[in-house]
Structure 1
Amino acid sequence: MDGFARDMRKDPTEPEKRLWTRLSSSQLGGHKFRRQSVIGPFIADFFCPQKGLVIEVDGDTHDILADLKRDAAMNRLELKVLHVGNADVIRNLEGVCENILRTLELMPDRWASPHPNPSPEGEGLLEQHSKGTEF
């Protein structure tokens, strides 16, 4: 799974590239994001570990039933999933970023800063929390 995520980071879609230019380096309200982050059996397009926000950039060919199942699994891990469309990212990047920032501001922090887990992805917390969780 990690190799697949690494490959996806090397070859992002155009909307993912554009959104990453605004999410990288803590540019959006100081929130740190990871891209193509492995969470359980899934790869999240973007993930803010501090807030537990997963952002999925959806194209025209998304399987809605699969998305619902995946979102439910993420919710069981106490993660919130925000879906944004490719077209919205391309045509209205500023509006998408405002929506993401507004969502982040409404969410509580998952831990006090700095994070007690030195893992860069916060995997330790996800792994502990997901034990026994069926996807």
Structure 2
Amino acid sequence: MHYNTAKANVAEQKDQRKTLRCNMTPAEAILWRALKGRSAGGLKFRRQQGIGPFILDFFCPERLLCVELDGSSHDRRYRYDEQRTAYLRKQGIRVVRFRNEQVYTCLDGVVAEIVRKALETASIHPASAFGHPAP
């Protein structure tokens, strides 16, 4: 895996990450309730995780999986999202995207797909995902 902590949660993004956590969209809040506390397949997720210059909606460090929700403004953000996805892939992070409507209408299906995508790859030790040697 290519990901390391030097590119995670940089200090310059701290206030922005906190603001985003305090002002989640309704779809993000619904999905967070379903993911937090290892509720989804026993996987640990973080919300508003900084990776390099980007802040991810949700991130599973054990499986290097980014989960992004797209709202009505997504069409205007397409090019930005493409650049972010390319950057994340270079870090060894996979990206899965859902529309807000999917969270509202089929939350169980969204969570099941997230777990399925996460389990497609071998688990890595959380410490090694952040640039530290595994015990």
Deviations, residues 59-92 of structure 1 (Å, cap 9, x unaligned): 1212111111110000000000111110000111
User: Which amino acid is 1:51 matched to?
Assistant: R
Where do 5+ consecutive residues of structure 1 fail to align? 127-135
List aligned pairs for 1:41-60, cutoff 5 A. Answer: 41-60=53-72
Deviations, residues 41-62 of structure 1 (Å, cap 9, x unaligned): 1000000000000000111212
Residue 33 of structure 1 corresponds to 45
Residue 3 of structure 2 corresponds to none
How many residues are paired up?
A: 118
SS, match of residue 45 in structure 1: strand
The one of 78, 84, 88 equivalent to 1:74 is 88
1:12 and 2:24 correspond: yes
Q: For residue 107 of structure 1, report the CA deviation from its aligned partner.
A: 1.6
Higher-helix-fraction structure: 2
Percent identity between matched residues is 33
Where do 5+ consecutive residues of structure 2 fail to align? 1-12
Give the aligned CA root-mean-square deviation in angstroms.
1.5
* TM-score after normalising by structure 2: 0.83
* TM-score after normalising by structure 1: 0.83
Higher relative contact order (CA 8 A, sep 6+): 2
